[in-house]
Amino acid sequence: MDKIKVIHDVVGHTLTVWFDDPQKEEICEETADEVVLMKDAAGRVIGFELLHYLPAQPSTGLSVETVIQTGME
């Protein structure tokens, strides 16, 4: 199973999610929605960073939900 790395920077107000090794990052591309896409040399998205992220409620942990989709619904 692949690992996902999630980093919440409370000082910089960003939320960064990596789907692959951050060392593979070659290209960063900011979208109009203040999201930065991190891509590898082949142009494949390996992570993203949400700028100006403030959680709705301060918490001490991270809640993760895994959903397995079996087909198009």
The count of structural domains within the chain is 1
Domain that includes residue 73, residue range: 1-73
pLDDT at residue 31, as a whole number: 92
What is the value of pTM for the model shown? 0.78
Spans of the chain below 50 pLDDT: 1, 73
- What are 61's strand-pairing partners? none
The tokens of 58 are what?
Answer: 């301060």
Check the CA dihedral 69-70-71-72 and report its sign. Answer: negative
49 CB burial (10 A radius; 0-12, 13-18, 19+): buried
pLDDT at residue 60, as a whole number: 61
pLDDT at residue 55, as a whole number: 80
pLDDT at residue 54, as a whole number: 85
pLDDT at residue 62, as a whole number: 67
The tokens of 26 are what?
Answer: 């070659």
The tokens of 4 are what?
Answer: 């996902």
